């Protein structure tokens, strides 16, 4: 018996899906362009003509919350939301299909539960007027609700197209049974006090992530369940907190740097920089590995996103490295480790998030992040030196100084971009958000007028991809903000302060325990959700312990990167394997020397504050 949806139903769904979500993608892409134009125009008006637009920040914030909401819809449709896959990756397809059905039903359930609270949030805002434009605040308040409705439609579409009726009915039965039990024991749950935190924020969230529910929706599930069944707080606080977390104007740098990371590849900046580095040291033993490390350091200063960094560097170097007899698993391991090494290099999206949620100066974070990455790079270079001491470089091409000089001249526009970005923020010429727009416009100009390598046909897909990835990141930020608020209201933050204050070893013990904790958090939650969730809780404790906030930020970010790229749970490791086109089973055997070197670097960063604060 065929248990799939009837063919005419599936055809109708596909037609509706194309009509609705091609429109959503187009609007999201237009919002990305609008933000570039608005920020670029505002920056020019402020610094060139000394006549700022008083309404630019307000309009930018309004468009940004819509970009985040619609981008999250696009990401759900394309399956690009961050999720933990370690537990379901090796399952047989039939069992995985049943769990996927339950995961999709949980997504549908939490979205359905939040639609009415989203309307209440909109209703509370629509009577107010924005301070400068004097338009209804309901325009921004509606963004979260519209996003929830469209994500619910997307999840239902995925359910009907990817599962059969038996799986759907079983998933409905499981979710309904859980809701019925929670309703039955609602009064008892409210009397349990903070024991509820274990149920909703550990058991429920962990179980949801283990079966493949994306991290953002797992956070939303735990927070909504906790507030609805274990407190008397109205559930409308969830969309309200999400709105607050997602609309921080400083986070507008996220889509701008994601866009910049894609454009540098289209414009040819990354390939020119790599060609110059290869001409310098590519003929030496381990030369191409050193080039990879140097290129990751430079490219990280342009894109701010690890996936973009690795995708820009690996295809340009791996073929030549394999010809020299290097093993694919070892190269992928080095690529993964280099992404950890470069986590603190500005304009890292995680650093921008740290500044947004903790109030630490982003200029100070950008300054403090350069040297910790150098320490990580030196540690990895020692491993490379040892592993390539017998490498045969007799066939490696050698470049004359004339050729090196020519390649340097060609690479100067690309090499200058990281300097422009870092200098503009550190010197206070532009904010992190504004300088990202400057970088976008600079890259387009270089690609069109200098390198004459710019495929305009790729722009629309890049804009959609920017909206998708940004929406996935920002939905996690919003969900983690709501979850952090619930944890704070429960008194958990006070208990955490008391617990961390008695860690043996004083400030040093606190830093080492924090590093280990952030390794675990990074491997399970990834950097952005982990820092949004625990940054507001742990950074005040660090201040009480006498730890410089920039130093603590570098320890946290480097440790989270270490966890993110550490198998078996770190999703970044599997991303590196996908980019390097190597099976994780092959790469995992080569990863440990690099991780050992990075762990030593992490200890040095934690124990020697000057590495993070020496240039402040």
Give pLDDT tens digits for 415-435: 888 777 777 766 666 776 777
CA 115 to chain centre: 26
Asked if residue 301 has pLDDT above 70, the reply is no
Beta strands in 296-405 (DSSP E): none
Asked if residue 8 has pLDDT above 50, the reply is no
Mean pLDDT of 178-186: 87
Question: Do residue 227 and residue 289 come from a single domain?
Answer: no
Convert the pLDDT of each residue in 267-291 to its tens digit: 888 788 888 888 888 888 888 888 8
pLDDT value, residue 574: 76
Question: Do residue 364 and residue 485 come from a single domain?
Answer: yes
Lowest mean pLDDT of 111-115, 310-314, 506-510, name the range: 310-314
pLDDT value, residue 467: 92
Mean pLDDT of 217-239: 90
Is the pTM higher than 0.85? no
Mean pLDDT of 547-562: 93
566: left (phi over 0), alpha (psi -120 to 50) or beta: beta
Question: Do residue 243 and residue 305 come from a single domain?
Answer: no
Q: Are 288 and 317 in contact (CB under 8 A)?
A: yes
Range of the domain at 87: 7-247
* Three-state DSSP state, 129: strand
Distance CA 73, CA 150 (A): 6
Q: Name the percent of the chain lying above pLDDT 70.
A: 93
Domain count, the chain: 2
* Three-state DSSP state, 133: coil
pLDDT value, residue 494: 67
Question: Do residue 240 and residue 271 come from a single domain?
Answer: no
Q: Taking all residues of the chain, what is their mean pLDDT, rounded to a whole number?
A: 83
Beta strands in 325-424 (DSSP E): none
pLDDT value, residue 527: 67
Tokens 């894109």 map to which residue? 303
Distance CA 49, CA 40 (A): 13
Convert the pLDDT of each residue in 40-89 to its tens digit: 887 777 777 777 777 887 888 889 999 999 999 999 988 888 777 767 76
Q: Are 528 and 486 in contact (CB under 8 A)?
A: no
Alpha helices in 427-458 (DSSP H): 432-445
Phi (first) and psi of residue 129, to 5 degrees: -115, 145
pLDDT value, residue 187: 77
Convert the pLDDT of each residue in 479-499 to its tens digit: 888 888 887 777 776 676 677
Question: Do residue 182 and residue 314 come from a single domain?
Answer: no
Convert the pLDDT of each residue in 380-407 to its tens digit: 999 999 988 877 777 778 888 899 899 8
Alpha helices in 446-544 (DSSP H): 459-489, 492-501, 506-525, 527-544
Distance CA 598, CA 562 (A): 8
Nearest to 86 by CA among 216, 213, 210, 215: 210
Question: Do residue 264 and residue 363 come from a single domain?
Answer: yes
Length of the chain: 616
Nearest to 556 by CA among 259, 344, 294: 344
Question: Do residue 465 and residue 575 come from a single domain?
Answer: yes
pLDDT value, residue 3: 47
Q: What is the dihedral of CA 194, 200, 201, 206, to 10 degrees?
A: 140
Burial class (CB in 10 A: 0-12, 13-18, 19+), 50: exposed
Distance CA 386, CA 548 (A): 35
| 2 falls within a domain | no
Query: Which position has the higher pLDDT, 174 or 80?
Result: 174
Query: Which position has the higher pLDDT, 164 or 427?
Result: 164
Mean pLDDT of 204-220: 88
Please tell me which of 295-304, 410-419, 574-583 the model is most confident about, judged by mean pLDDT: 410-419
Question: Do residue 216 and residue 330 come from a single domain?
Answer: no
- Give me the half-sphere count of Cα atoms (radius 13 Å) on the Cβ side of residue 567: 21
pLDDT value, residue 1: 38
Here the tokens at position 370 are: 């350069």
- Work out whether the CA dihedral 321, 326, 328, 331 comes out positive or negative: negative
| 1 falls within a domain | no
From 212, 247, 282, give the residue that closes a domain. 247
Lowest mean pLDDT of 94-103, 462-471, 500-509, name the range: 500-509
Query: Which position has the higher pLDDT, 501 or 175?
Result: 175
Question: Do residue 419 and residue 481 come from a single domain?
Answer: yes
Burial class (CB in 10 A: 0-12, 13-18, 19+), 459: middle
Question: Do residue 202 and residue 265 come from a single domain?
Answer: no
From 220, 247, 274, give the residue that closes a domain. 247
From 227, 247, 267, give the residue that closes a domain. 247
What's the CA angle centered on 589, arms 389 and 583, to 5 degrees?
Answer: 110
* Three-state DSSP state, 136: strand
């Amino acid at each position: 018996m065929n248990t799939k949806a009837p063919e005419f139903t599936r055809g109708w769904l596909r037609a509706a899906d194309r009509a609705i979500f091609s429109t959503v993608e187009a609007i999201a892409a237009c919002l990305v362009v609008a933000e570039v134009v608005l920020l670029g125009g505002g920056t020019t008006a402020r610094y060139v003509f000394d006549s700022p637009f008083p309404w630019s920040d307000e309009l930018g914030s309004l468009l940004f919350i819509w970009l985040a909401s619609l981008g999250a819809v696009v990401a759900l449709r394309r399956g690009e939301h961050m999720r933990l896959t370690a537990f379901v990756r090796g399952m047989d397809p039939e069992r995985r299909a049943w769990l996927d059905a339950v995961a999709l039903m949980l997504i549908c359930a939490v979205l359905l539960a939040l639609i009415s609270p989203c309307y209440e949030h909109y209703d509370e805002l629509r009577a107010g007027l924005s301070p400068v434009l004097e338009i209804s605040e309901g325009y921004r308040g509606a963004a979260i609700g519209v996003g929830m409705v469209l994500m619910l439609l997307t999840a239902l579409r995925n359910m009907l197209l990817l599962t059969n009726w038996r799986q759907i009915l079983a998933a409905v039965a499981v979710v309904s049974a859980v809701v019925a039990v929670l309703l039955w024991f609602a009064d008892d749950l409210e009397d349990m006090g903070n024991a509820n935190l274990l149920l909703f924020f550990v058991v429920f969230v962990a179980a949801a992530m283990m079966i493949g529910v994306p991290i953002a929706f797992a956070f939303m599930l735990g927070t909504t369940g906790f507030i609805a069944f274990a407190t008397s707080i109205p559930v409308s606080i969830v969309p309200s907190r999400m709105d607050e977390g997602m609309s921080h104007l400083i986070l507008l740098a996220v889509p701008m740097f994601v866009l910049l990371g894609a454009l540098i590849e289209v414009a040819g900046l990354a390939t020119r920089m790599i060609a110059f580095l290869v001409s310098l040291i590519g003929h030496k033993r381990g030369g191409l590995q050193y080039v990879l490390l140097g290129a990751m350091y430079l490219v990280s200063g342009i894109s701010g996103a690890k996936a973009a960094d690795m995708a820009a560097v690996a295809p340009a170097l791996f073929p030549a490295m394999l010809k020299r007899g290097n093993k694919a698993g070892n190269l992928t391991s080095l690529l993964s480790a280099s992404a950890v090494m470069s986590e603190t290099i500005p304009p890292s999206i995680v650093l921008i998030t740290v500044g947004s949620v903790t109030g630490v100066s982003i200029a100070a974070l950008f300054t403090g992040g350069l040297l910790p990455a150098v320490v990580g790079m030196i540690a990895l270079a020692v491993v490379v030196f040892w592993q390539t001491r017998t490498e045969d470089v007799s066939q490696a091409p050698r470049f004359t100084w004339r050729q090196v000089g020519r390649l340097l001249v060609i690479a100067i526009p690309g090499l200058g971009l990281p300097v422009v970005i870092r200098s503009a923020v550190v010197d206070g010429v532009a904010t992190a958000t504004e300088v990202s727009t400057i970088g976008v416009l600079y890259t387009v100009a270089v690609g069109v007028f200098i390198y004459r390598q710019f495929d305009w046909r790729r722009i629309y897909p890049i804009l959609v991809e920017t909206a998708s990835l940004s929406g996935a990141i920002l939905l996690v930020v919003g969900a983690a903000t709501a979850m952090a608020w619930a944890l704070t209201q429960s008194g958990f933050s006070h208990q955490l302060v008391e617990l961390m204050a008695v860690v043996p070893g004083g400030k040093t013990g606190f830093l080492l325990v924090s590093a280990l904790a952030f390794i675990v958090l990074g491997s399970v939650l990834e950097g952005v959700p982990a820092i949004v969730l625990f940054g507001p809780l742990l950074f005040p404790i660090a201040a009480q312990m006498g730890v410089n906030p920039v130093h603590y930020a570098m320890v946290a970010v480097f440790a989270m990167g270490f966890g993110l790229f550490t198998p078996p749970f770190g999703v970044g490791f599997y991303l590196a394997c996908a980019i390097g086109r190597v099976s994780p089973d092959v790469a995992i055997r080569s990863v440990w020397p690099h991780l050992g070197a990075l762990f030593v670097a992490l200890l040095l960063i934690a124990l020697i504050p000057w590495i993070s604060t020496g240039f402040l």
